[in-house]
Amino acid sequence: MGGSKENGTPLPSVPVNPRGDPVRDRGPRTMITVGDVGVAVLRDGGFSVDGGALFGVVPRFLWQQSDPPDEGNRVALALNVLLVETAGKRVLVDTGIGDRWAAKEIGLYKISRETTLLGSLAERGLGPEDVDVVVQTHLHFDHAGGSTRLVDGALRPTFPKARYVVQKGEWEDATRPHERNRASYRPDDFVPLAEAGQLDLVDGEAEVAPGVRVVPTGGHTRHHQIVVVDSGDGLLVPTDLLPTTSHLPLPYVMGYDLYPVGTLEAKRRLLAEAAERGSRILFYHDRRRPLGRVRRQGDRYLLEEGSAHGS
């Protein structure tokens, strides 16, 4: 057992599959406590994207060592959904990529479903009706794909009792896309939320559950928002501002971002705050380290050594 200590609670070690990739959330896992709040990482499988798009202006020569691409220049990513339990409420931050994919797209994005969000919830004895709030950091398909599902041929919100928190500006952009962002949005992921009356549009910063805030940052999309858990040392969920631990260097900004300088500035603030406060960061797309802390060294931020679970 390679489990580490987290607030005195032993964590199980991370099993490894034959390809050497960590396989997470195969069984019930101990929740991590952040002050008064409990959190867990639920993995909704994975997918792959073009390495050039993933690392923006950074040359392949620099990123290929830490993130070796496949024969199609694709880099494998995880979909790490945060579950937060606070004051009797359950909050999910984004919903993964979901199951509504055709064979062509599964091949193009190498979508893998070895774990699913609903399966990971079920392993904890939770069903879709147990989720009270879903925060959408933005509405791209790899963040909102699991927000709806087909029930008897009709698209329905996956979480029937949840309100889905979306920035008003993100909703407007997603429902009126242009040529540059159209491929990232699938109306079936989010239009049914409005039709079911479960859409909760917010304009700016808002508390979505006790100790859980959304904060708009822009950058990746004009109205991209992050989640801040304000309890204990805190926990930040930057999703696509800081998708993996490989993106810790400030200039490592994704080519997908509509406002890359906005991402840079938001990242700079977020990393300074996380390092100063000792907050954990959830890395939504990281296959190896879904949770971690950072420390500052001059102008750089380094990942604290610790367990794969992010002590």
Which residues, other chains included, contact 9 with Cβ-Cβ below 8 Å and sequence gap of 6+?
30, 33
The CB-of-305 to Zn ion minimum distance in angstroms stands at 26
> What is the closest distance, in whole angstroms, from the C-beta atom of residue 266 to Zn ion in the complex?
15
Choosing from 85, 94, 240, 257, the residue that interacts with Zn ion (CB under 5 A) is: 240
CA proximity to 287, closest of 93, 21, 98, 26: 21
Q: How near is the Cβ of 189 to Zn ion at its closest, in Å?
A: 13
Choice from 94, 132, 142, 286 touching Zn ion (CB under 5 A): 142
CB of 244 to Zn ion, least distance (A): 10
Between 85 and 94, whose beta carbon lies closer to Zn ion?
A: 94
Residue 252 or 275: the one with the smaller Cβ distance to Zn ion is: 252
CB 51 within 8 A of CB 73: yes
Binding flags for Zn ion, 188-227, as an x/- string (CB under 5 A): ----------------------------------------
CB of 152 to Zn ion, least distance (A): 30
Classify residue 16 by its DSSP letter. Answer: B
Task: Give the long-range contacts of residues 21-26, CB within 8 A, separation 24 or more.
Answer: 21/76, 21/287, 22/287, 22/288, 22/308, 23/114, 23/115, 24/78, 24/80, 24/115, 24/290, 25/115, 25/120, 25/123, 26/115, 26/123
CB 232 within 8 A of CB 33: yes
Q: Which is nearer to Zn ion, 25 or 142 (CB)?
A: 142
Count of residues of this chain found to bind Zn ion when the rule CB under 5 A is applied:
2
Q: C-beta of 289: minimal distance to Zn ion in Å?
A: 16
**What's the CA gap between 298 and 270, in Å, rounded?**
16
Residue 163 DSSP one-character state: E
Would you say 108 or 302 has its CB closer to Zn ion? Answer: 108
286 is an interface residue for Zn ion by CB under 5 A: no
* Minimum gap (Å) between residue 39 Cβ and Zn ion: 19
Give backbone dihedrals phi and psi of 202, rounded to 5 degrees, phi first.
-120, 155
Neighbours of 266 (CB within 10 A): 22
How far is Cα 291 from Cα 212, in angstroms, rounded to an integer?
Answer: 17
Q: Which of these ranges, 40-48, 59-67, 154-162, 238-246, lies near Zn ion under the rule CB under 5 A?
A: 238-246
CB nearer to Zn ion: give 24 or 138: 138
- Residues within the interface to Zn ion (CB under 5 A): 142, 240
